[in-house]
Amino acid sequence: MEKIVIKGGISLQGEVQVSGAKNSALPLMFATLLADGQSEISNVPSLRDINTAEKLLRELGAEVTSQDNCYRINTGKVKSVEAPYDLVKTMRASVLVLGPLLARFGQARVSLPGGCAIGARPINLHLKGMEALGAKIHLDHGYVEATADKLRGAKISFDMPTVGGTENLLMAASLAEGETVLENAAREPEIVQLAEALNSMGAKIEGAGTAIIHIQGVASLTPLKCQVIPDRIEAGTFMIAAAITGGNILVRGAVRKDQEALISKLIETGTVIQPEADGLRVIGPKNLASVDIRTSVFPGFPTDMQAQFMALMTRAVGTSRISETIFENRFMHVCELQRMGADIQIDGHSATIRGTAAMTGAPVMATDLRASASLILAGLAAENTTEVSRIYHLDRGYEKIEKKLAGLGANIRREQE
């Protein structure tokens, strides 16, 4: 197994390029199943989750080739409609094949994902939506079996906005007969990209990016050609890297409108953010002010940035309170940050962080994707050496992070344990 070793205390300087968004690339790769033929998706990041998506597409019978972050996916010979447990448990986003397979082939067999480190994460709203479109859903030996002669448009009101649920229903409804209206839909930029991509394939979707989306079903879709948007969570992580090290970084590819909640909180900490032609320049202050955050659905503060922001608040002057409202178990980084000297108390879904002037490096263990990033950020600002183990979590979602940080002057390397 590999670990990341960081010698902290260096103020990061320079420019860094943000990769394509994992959470956009995954639904786009699965959307190719809706059409018969060769799709092409560029700016796909090199990540473990993308490899899992590739494996799943191959398992279904698609031909997948990639070169320089560009994927060609030929879905002409898809012969299986089953997403097996070993792939779904490795990556929950695999459940996004449900909508496309059901819509194109009238059937799908997808393993239930089960729980994961950050919470229960059920897919009941995906299934309820498919049923509303006329699918018959049957649970069998841990698998969802869905069948439908023909999906028919319906009005679906989500009990809560769900990113994956909205994406699955967008894809299914694109090939349903008649109009589907999604109410209380998720509004994340990745949803907007998926809707635009589907429209470029011939779908008729209006309202993506708002809570109400209208989809006029069409009889067939043509292969996809598109470029993945920049990863706003990776961009946000580099923005915090600048803030926590008192650095000055141009984050190329950071898009202001996708980062408003994070940006306004960073500005409150005293961080300076200046838009430039192709990104955002982020300048960390000498002393960080403490601020409170509460995660919520887009355009609120993203849960995927909560752990990283907590690392930042461990270095702020004063006390901050962080409330997590999306996932029930997303404070596992806290114990590890405490091992580095952080003063954090958890009370239910909230954490109180008393900033401390100095954190000390320590051996720590990554527990999930964004927790890994938070430990790396803490390590960049800590005295002495931090060793982050179990970094396979990190490799699920950050492309070459240690190389990118080293390019900004960090003393960081990957080693065998």
- CA gap 276, 351 in Å, rounded: 34
Binder among 8, 20, 99, 165 for ligand UD1 (CB under 6 A): 165
Taking contact as CB under 6 A, which single stretch among the options 81-89, 97-105, 155-163, 398-406 is the one that binds ligand UD1? Answer: 155-163
User: Per-residue x/- mask for ligand UD1, residues 41 to 60, rule CB under 6 A?
Assistant: --------------------
Closer residue to ligand UD1, CB minimum distance, 24 or 245 = 24
The closest of 224, 190, 193 to 72, measured between CA atoms, is 224
Residues 6+ apart with CB under 8 A from 230: 18, 19, 20, 21, 253, 254, 255
CB of 172: closest distance to ligand UD1 in angstroms? 14
Site membership for ligand UD1, residue 330 (CB under 6 A): no
Looking only at Cα atoms, what is the longest distance across the chain? 63
Phi, psi of 383 (to 5 degrees): -75, 150
Taking contact as CB under 6 A, which single stretch among the options 53-61, 162-170, 234-242, 283-291 is the one that binds ligand UD1? Answer: 162-170
Helix axes 163-174, 189-200, angle to 10 degrees: 10
CB of 376: closest distance to ligand UD1 in angstroms? 18
Size of the site for ligand UD1 (CB under 6 A): 23
* Per annotation, catalytic residue among 70, 116, 226, 335: 116
Site membership for ligand UD1, residue 125 (CB under 6 A): yes
Task: Report yes or no: 261 and 233 within 8 Å, Cβ to Cβ.
Answer: no
Site membership for ligand UD1, residue 139 (CB under 6 A): no
Helix axes 306-313, 232-244, angle to 10 degrees: 0
Cα of 280 vs its chain's centroid, Å:
20
Active site residue 116: yes
CB of 367: closest distance to ligand UD1 in angstroms? 15
Task: Report yes or no: 413 and 402 within 8 Å, Cβ to Cβ.
Answer: yes
- CA gap 214, 217 in Å, rounded: 10
Amino acid at 330: R
Chain residue at closest Cβ approach to ligand UD1: 164
Tell me whether the omega of the peptide bond preceding residue 299 falls within 30 degrees of 0, making it cis. yes
CB of 111: closest distance to ligand UD1 in angstroms? 15
Pairing of the two strands 319-323 and 343-347: unpaired
Cα of 273 vs its chain's centroid, Å:
23
Query: For 359, what's the count of Cα atoms within 13 Å in the CB-facing half-sphere?
Result: 36
Site membership for ligand UD1, residue 194 (CB under 6 A): no
CB of 170: closest distance to ligand UD1 in angstroms? 12
Site membership for ligand UD1, residue 307 (CB under 6 A): no
CB of 229: closest distance to ligand UD1 in angstroms? 12
Closer residue to ligand UD1, CB minimum distance, 100 or 246 = 100
Closer residue to ligand UD1, CB minimum distance, 37 or 122 = 122
Active-site positions read 116
**Binding residues for ligand UD1 (CB under 6 A):** 23, 26, 92-93, 119-126, 160, 162-165, 186, 190, 303-304, 326-327
